[in-house]
């Protein structure tokens, strides 16, 4: 779950991480009042979860509170990459002595967390890593013992800091790491980290992504995680509420399968046969009739879907349960779109009998079934 | 011959009294797996499917001679269940549980590394040595003994491919799921090393998917070490859009990293036979003669 910048900064402040003076506003008037309170020159930042808001015009500057109100009006009316802007963060513009980059990421290949840091902050860090990889420091964090003061100090030293500044940066980095531990963050990234004239390090921007699998131990995010974000389509949210792993795609062939790998392979196969998948839908291992019926109802109910492909390789899942789910949908609401079923594995014969009794058949090979469903979507 | 499990494996089931644990314990016993005890905190002294249940792994080890574990406990308790098995000296430890926080898996995997224990998973269908032992939730009947070692990041796709191999007369030595999570105890390189030293395996099949760099790392390893056995692969997720998690926590393309096409290319460049669709794998293996034959 991605946190909004203002949420990330709020938890950071509680951990002693400096952020620019400011507050979040939902209306232009609130924005003006915040500017009055903080003084100086203000930055108005759209609070969205998508990346690239700067290029889209979602960050503006103003020197007077009334100007901030006008800029906030503009930003609050924006939609950035499909995401409505509901809030703006008003902050005092910081004058930087230097801009840095610091992040703590999950490093899959090395099975640990890794600190990435650079003295080239404020710009696209992936670009820096491509062009001049030596400018991005990488430091492995011990999974059990975490960032020790000497880990952080070594990074500060490599970034060119000595004396008191070395200590200040060491504390800043250690606090970012603490944040990643306390909030089970997949990513903590500050770009830029601003080194101020007075020597303080300030997280001018802050991105935090919380591991979805850890939400059970974060009651503070429970309500927030249920809010519909623009990153989740209406169809996705409906399907996920019903316990389906579901991703909406831009094609017209609905896909239902069991197991993430099998469903991915099914999408690939449909595409290879010239079709376009409308979704990824994994009913999971051991799915019962009700689960399958829900998936089929949701998918055939989508206007854009022209044909549906059910691909089941039953292991723990049982073919008779799958068949029952499909037949239930046929009886209760009817099959609204052409349906191709490939179903093999546990209780295959019972399953096929149930389908036959409702005038349906199942195929053996997924290649043939994919070709057939692509033909039906075109017809 | 096989890797990690076989006739010598004597396992305990952690979380044996849960719905999944109980169901699969029965199926594993039917397959011929030697299960010697179960562990569920608070249920010690009881018996399920003729199996004694203990409160802790250590107490199970006082009464039995187990050497491996399979874990079905819910995600919030999985990290400590894994540590408990490692502390008792069990290996491999197969973790079926899915949706474990990445931080927990990371710590557990480091713990296993420090104790020289092998973790399979988490979020894995498990491991099977055809005809000998199964520590997992896969349907046993699609696997037949033979010389192909198989490692995969997914469950049903493994059964799909194993079934098509079996159907084509190609048997398997050991098949295992490395797991669908970002952090897994074994990666493809670890598995390639195990199969390299196994005289019962002459071919390795890797079933990968989008996300991470496990397939690229495997390709580099195969090329750099002039891997002595035939390797074939299939990668799922060519049709997946970037930035979306495709069911598995680890199946996500981030930026330009982790695409199926890039993985297929690096494997091909390393001399691996790469199938375009799952059904092509048996055809590739039948056309190409193994270097050992």
Residue B133 within a domain: no
Residue of B156, B157, B158, B160 to mutate, testing the A interface (most A Cβ within 10 Å of its Cβ): B156
When pLDDT is averaged across residues A163-176 and rounded to a whole number, the result is: 97
Residue B126 within a domain: no
Do B162 and B257 reside in the same domain of the chain? yes
Residue ending a domain, choose from B120, B151, B177 = B120
Residue ending a domain, choose from B56, B89, B120 = B120
Q: Which residues does chain A have within 8 Å of residue B255's beta carbon, measured at their own beta carbons?
A: 126
- Report the share of chain B in percent with pLDDT over 70: 98
Q: For residue A51, what pLDDT is reported?
A: 83
Do B88 and B227 reside in the same domain of the chain? no
Do B82 and B223 reside in the same domain of the chain? no
The domain that holds B277 is classified in CATH as 3.40.50.261
Residue B129 within a domain: no
Q: A128: pLDDT confidence band, cut at 50, 70 and 90?
A: confident
Would you give the end-to-end CA distance of chain B in angstroms? 17
Residue ending a domain, choose from B120, B149, B184 = B120
Do B276 and B150 reside in the same domain of the chain? yes
Do B237 and B115 reside in the same domain of the chain? no
Is the distance from CB of B210 to CB of B251 less than 8 angstroms? yes
Q: For residue A326, what pLDDT is reported?
A: 96
Q: Tell if the CB–CB gap between B163 and A109 is shorter than 8 Å.
A: no
Is 60 exceeded by the pLDDT of residue B290? no
Q: Tell if the CB–CB gap between B158 and A261 is shorter than 8 Å.
A: yes
Cα of B199 to nearest chain A Cα, Å: 28
Q: What is the pLDDT of residues A242-261, one digit of tens each?
A: 889 999 999 999 999 999 99
When pLDDT is averaged across residues A114-128 and rounded to a whole number, the result is: 87
Q: For residue A109, what pLDDT is reported?
A: 87
Quote the ipTM score: 0.89
Q: Tell if the CB–CB gap between B180 and A261 is shorter than 8 Å.
A: yes
Q: For residue A133, what pLDDT is reported?
A: 85
Do B258 and B167 reside in the same domain of the chain? yes
Cα of A328 to nearest chain B Cα, Å: 25
Do B77 and B217 reside in the same domain of the chain? no
Q: A330 vs A238, A280, A308, A335, CA distance in Å?
A: 21, 22, 13, 5
Q: For residue B293, what pLDDT is reported?
A: 37
Cα of A9 to nearest chain B Cα, Å: 22
Do B145 and B274 reside in the same domain of the chain? yes
Number of CB atoms found within 10 A of residue A140's CB? 12
Q: A228: pLDDT confidence band, cut at 50, 70 and 90?
A: low
Residue of B239, B254, B260, B276 to mutate, testing the A interface (most A Cβ within 10 Å of its Cβ): B239
Q: What is the pLDDT of residues B109-139, one digit of tens each?
A: 999 999 999 999 999 999 999 999 999 999 8
Q: Tell if the CB–CB gap between A144 and B107 is shorter than 8 Å.
A: yes
Q: Which residues does chain A have within 8 Å of residue B164's beta carbon, measured at their own beta carbons?
A: none
Q: Domain containing B245: what range?
A: 138-287
Cα of B292 to nearest chain A Cα, Å: 31
Q: For residue A118, what pLDDT is reported?
A: 95
Q: For residue A288, what pLDDT is reported?
A: 86
Q: What is the pLDDT of residues A265-301, one digit of tens each?
A: 999 999 999 999 999 999 987 778 999 999 999 999 9
When pLDDT is averaged across residues A309-321 and rounded to a whole number, the result is: 90
Do B116 and B237 reside in the same domain of the chain? no
Q: Which two tokens stand for residue B185?
A: 């105890």
**Of residues A109, A184, A261, nearest to B103 (C-beta):** A184
Q: Tell if the CB–CB gap between A142 and B107 is shorter than 8 Å.
A: no
Q: A230: pLDDT confidence band, cut at 50, 70 and 90?
A: low
Residue B186 within a domain: yes
**Number of folded domains in chain B?**
2
Active-site residue, B115 included: no
Residue B276 within a domain: yes
Q: For residue B263, what pLDDT is reported?
A: 96
Do B169 and B268 reside in the same domain of the chain? yes
Residue B269 within a domain: yes
Q: Which residues does chain B have within 8 Å of residue A245's beta carbon, measured at their own beta carbons?
A: 247
**Mean pLDDT over each residue of chain A, to the nearest integer:** 93
Q: A131: pLDDT confidence band, cut at 50, 70 and 90?
A: confident
Residue B60 within a domain: yes
Q: Tell if the CB–CB gap between A216 and B217 is shorter than 8 Å.
A: no
Q: Tell if the CB–CB gap between A264 and B214 is shorter than 8 Å.
A: no
Do B51 and B19 reside in the same domain of the chain? yes
Interface contacts A/B by beta carbons within 8 Å? 162
A217/B contact by beta carbon, under 8 A: yes
Q: What is the pLDDT of residues B14-65, one digit of tens each?
A: 999 998 899 999 999 999 999 999 999 999 999 999 999 999 999 999 999 9
Q: Tell if the CB–CB gap between B139 and A216 is shorter than 8 Å.
A: no
Q: What is the pLDDT of residues A21-60, one digit of tens each?
A: 999 999 999 999 999 999 999 999 999 998 889 889 999 9
Do B150 and B103 reside in the same domain of the chain? no
For chain A, list the domains and their CATH numbers.
1-19+95-228 (3.30.470.20), 21-93 (3.30.1490.20), 234-378 (3.40.50.261)
Is 50 exceeded by the pLDDT of residue B257? yes
Q: What is the pLDDT of residues A326-338, one digit of tens each?
A: 999 999 999 999 9
A residues 326..365 contacting B (CB < 8 A): 344-346, 365
Residue B257 within a domain: yes
Q: For residue B289, what pLDDT is reported?
A: 58
The domain that holds B19 is classified in CATH as 3.40.50.720
């Amino acid at each position: 779950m991605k946190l909004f910048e203002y949420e990330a900064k709020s938890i950071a402040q509680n951990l002693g991480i400096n952020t620019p003076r400011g507050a979040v506003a939902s209306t232009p008037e609130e924005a003006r009042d915040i500017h009055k309170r903080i003084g100086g020159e203000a930055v108005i930042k759209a609070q969205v979860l998508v990346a690239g808001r700067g290029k889209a015009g979602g960050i503006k500057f103003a020197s007077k509170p009334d100007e901030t109100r006008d800029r906030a009006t503009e930003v609050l009316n924006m939609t950035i990459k499909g995401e409505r802007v509901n809030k703006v963060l008003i902050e005092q513009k910081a004058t930087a002595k230097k801009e840095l980059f610091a992040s703590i990421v999950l490093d899959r290949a090395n099975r640990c967390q890794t600190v990435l840091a650079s003295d080239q902050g404020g710009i696209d860090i992936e670009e820096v890593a491509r062009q001049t990889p030596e400018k991005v420091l990488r430091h492995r964090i011990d999974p059990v013992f975490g960032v020790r003061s000497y880990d952080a100090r070594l990074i500060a030293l490599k970034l060119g800091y000595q004396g008191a500044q070395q200590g200040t940066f060491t504390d800043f980095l250690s606090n970012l790491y603490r944040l990643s531990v306390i909030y089970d963050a997949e990513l903590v990234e500050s770009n830029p980290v601003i080194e101020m004239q007075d020597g303080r390090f300030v997280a001018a921007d802050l991105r935090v992504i919380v591991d979805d699998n850890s939400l059970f131990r974060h009651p503070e995010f429970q309500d927030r995680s249920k809010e519909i974000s623009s990153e989740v389509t209406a169809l996705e949210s409906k399907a996920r509420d019903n316990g389906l792993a579901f991703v909406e795609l831009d094609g017209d062939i609905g896909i239902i399968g069991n197991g993430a790998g099998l469903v991915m392979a099914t999408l690939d196969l449909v595409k290879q046969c010239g079709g376009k998948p409308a979704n990824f839908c994994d009913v999971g291992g051991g799915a019962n009739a009700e689960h399958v019926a829900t998936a089929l109802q949701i998918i055939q109910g989508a206007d854009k879907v022209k044909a549906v492909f059910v691909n089941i390789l039953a292991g723990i899942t049982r073919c008779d349960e799958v068949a029952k789910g499909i037949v239930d949908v046929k009886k209760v609401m009817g099959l609204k779109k052409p349906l191709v079923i490939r179903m093999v594995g546990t209780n295959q014969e019972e399953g096929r009998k149930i389908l036959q009794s409702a005038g349906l058949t199942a195929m053996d090979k997924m290649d043939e079934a994919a070709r057939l469903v692509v033909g039906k979507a075109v017809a | 011959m096989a890797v990690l499990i076989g006739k010598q494996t004597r396992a305990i089931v952690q979380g044996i009294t849960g719905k999944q644990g109980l169901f699969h314990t029965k199926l594993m016993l039917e397959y011929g797996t030697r299960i010697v005890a179960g562990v569920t905190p608070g249920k010690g002294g009881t018996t399920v499917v003729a199996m004694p249940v203990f409160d802790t792994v250590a107490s199970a080890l006082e009464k039995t001679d187990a050497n491996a574990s399979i874990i079905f406990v819910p995600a919030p308790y999985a990290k400590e269940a894994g540590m408990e098995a490692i502390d008792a000296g069990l290996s491999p430890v197969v973790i079926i549980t899915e949706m474990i926080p990445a931080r927990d898996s990371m710590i557990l995997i480091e713990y296993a590394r420090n104790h020289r224990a092998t973790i399979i998973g988490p979020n894995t269908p498990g491991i099977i040595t055809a005809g000998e032992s199964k520590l997992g939730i896969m349907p046993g009947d699609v696997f037949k003994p033979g010389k192909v070692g198989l490692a995969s990041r997914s469950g049903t796709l493994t059964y799909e491919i194993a079934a098509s191999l079996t159907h084509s007369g190609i048997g398997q030595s050991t098949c295992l799921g490395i797991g669908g999570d970002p952090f897994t105890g074994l990666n493809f390189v670890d598995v390639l090393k195990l199969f390299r030293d196994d005289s019962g395996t002459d071919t390795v099949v890797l079933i990968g998917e989008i996300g991470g760099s496990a397939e690229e790392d495997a390709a580099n390893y195969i090329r750099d070490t002039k891997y002595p056995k035939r390797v074939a692969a299939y990668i799922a997720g060519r049709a997946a859009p970037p930035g979306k998690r495709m069911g598995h926590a680890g199946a996500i393309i981030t930026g330009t990293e982790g695409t199926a096409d890039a993985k297929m290319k690096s494997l091909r460049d390393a001399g691996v036979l790469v199938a375009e669709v799952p059904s092509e794998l048996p055809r590739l293996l039948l056309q190409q003669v193994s270097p050992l034959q």
